[in-house]
Chain A
């Protein structure tokens, strides 16, 4: 199956995104911010459809929109934390606007499914390079702030007292989450980013008590789920996003069962 260009692109893109999603997701779960990824992906849908409407690339539109929303979330910070209703309304509005933009751009109908549920087999070489650049940028930024971010995630008030700019790093992290979400949506779609960002990380956090091993396990799990998912999709001709969600769900359940049993 590696004889085809589109399969090579699919494996490369999924590999880059999975490692990124696993590492970023680990901190999202640790910080209790999994919902942020979910929310950002919805907003990204509006960005992607809006961009297409004005003749820009959907990936660029999605990333612009998610990063703007991520930074806004970081600035609102605490005040946003318990506003379930407000967040829910913004999410619905985002999808609603996305739908409206699609309506104006009628030829775009098949693209809608790809945006919502992903179409990794349609990823071209240029997108792979973009994803690689985004992946390096995000992991690089995370590498620089990881130590104080971990401190601030586990003990925010103590970290603040020790001089960690807790809010500033929180904002940088949300910008990273935003880019990772947009990258992830290229593989599994806007509606399923949870499956690569949260599933493997949550499983890893349940299995190992060490941060280092947890990060490696989250990235490895995400990578295995993405690659195996695409391979099985190639054989069965069922959608790859389905197989990735199935594997992610199974891995999480296994992690829960393994720790209980």
Chain B
């Protein structure tokens, strides 16, 4: 089914959302178009995960409306694919990639797990989309971080979603595997013609593929191209502090005073702002 032209994939109107008393989103209005690749950025705790859970209908805003593909956000919308931030902590099992994805195929239905033809065909299809058919018979526990990410991405593609929410898929991957995951997601997004919201700590690895960025901070949100959003004045407003944006050799560094921000702690150290 095609969306009416111009129907945004996600539209927030005047959305205010509070968690534990603090506003995570404060009167935010924005629209994300069909077939866009949007990077969702912002410091830890800015609300990236909460925004995705709101789009999924798992968190209710206090005020305002959330429209997803032209309808009010609601749990169980098969048109929305999701890769959660918290990764599966598989105990010492030999469950294979195939079994992992199969559990997702119409997994909400009552009854016994399905091993039927339709399930196997769907698993094969989504594994093929992410070039992971070779992982079907491998135990998840023995895969590398990048391989596991492929299987989880396949899982998110079950049911042919038209909007894909990927919550920090780059976390704990080395730069090489980060690049692979980004290229893969971009390829899937373009070949299926779907919308992707891709949250990350760091902007630079995503620079080549982003259509637009959605930067969250201080309850506010800024949506636009990299050149529109990643600027001193816009980010200063989001952070509520003086922010400088430094562009160097095609990379962008967001600085508060002499310190680079928007990085997670695994990059701690002064070497951050002298990388080239």
- Seen from chain A, the residues whose Cβ lies within 8 Å of a Cβ on chain B are 29-30, 32, 143-148, 150-151, 154-155, 157-164, 202, 205-212, 259
Contacts and interface: CB of A to CB of B under 8 A. Distances in A.
Interface stretch (B102-110, B174-182, B186-194, B262-270): B102-110
B115 A212 contact: yes
B71 interface: no
Given A30-B91, A147-B113, A157-B84, A209 B108 contact: no
B42 to A, nearest CB: 20
A155 B151 CA distance: 12
Contacts of B86: 157
A154 B102 CA distance: 11
B241 to A, nearest CB: 32
B110 A157 contact: no
Given A146-B112, A147-B110, A207 B94 contact: yes
Interface in B46-72: 56-58
Interface of B: 56-58, 75-76, 78, 80, 82-84, 86, 88-89, 91-96, 98-100, 103-104, 107-115, 137, 139, 155-156
12 contacts: A32-B91, A143-B112, A144-B110, A146-B112, A147-B113, A148-B108, A148-B110, A154-B88, A154-B103, A209-B93, A210-B95, A211-B103
Contact of B103 (A143, A155, A157): A155
A242 to B, nearest CB: 26
Contact of B95 (A151, A163, A211): A211
Name, among B94, B98, B100, the residue most crowded by chain A CB atoms within 10 Å (CB to CB).
B94
A200 B75 CA distance: 37
B139 A157 contact: no
Interface of B (DSSP majority class): loop
B91 A29 contact: yes
Contacts of A155: 84, 88, 103-104, 155
Contacts of B76: 161-163
Sorted nearest first, the 6 A-B pairs with minimum C-beta distance are A163-B76, A151-B107, A157-B84, A209-B96, A209-B94, A205-B93
Given A158-B104, A162-B76, A209 B109 contact: no
Interface of A (DSSP majority class): helix
A146 B107 CA distance: 9
A235 to B, nearest CB: 35
Name, among B78, B100, B104, B156, the residue most crowded by chain A CB atoms within 10 Å (CB to CB).
B104
Contacts of B98: 209
Contacts of A208: 94
Contacts of B137: 209
Contacts of B84: 155, 157-158
Given A159-B108, A161-B75, A207-B94, A150 B113 contact: yes
B93 A206 contact: yes
Contacts of B57: 161
Given A158-B155, A159-B107, A147 B94 contact: no
A148 B109 contact: yes
A157 B85 CA distance: 9
Nearest to A146: B112
A161 B80 contact: yes
Given A163-B75, A164-B108, A205 B113 contact: no
Given A155-B155, A158-B82, A211 B113 contact: yes
Contact of A150 (B58, B80, B94, B107): B107
A208 B112 CA distance: 19
B54 to A, nearest CB: 11
Contacts of B92: 202, 205-206
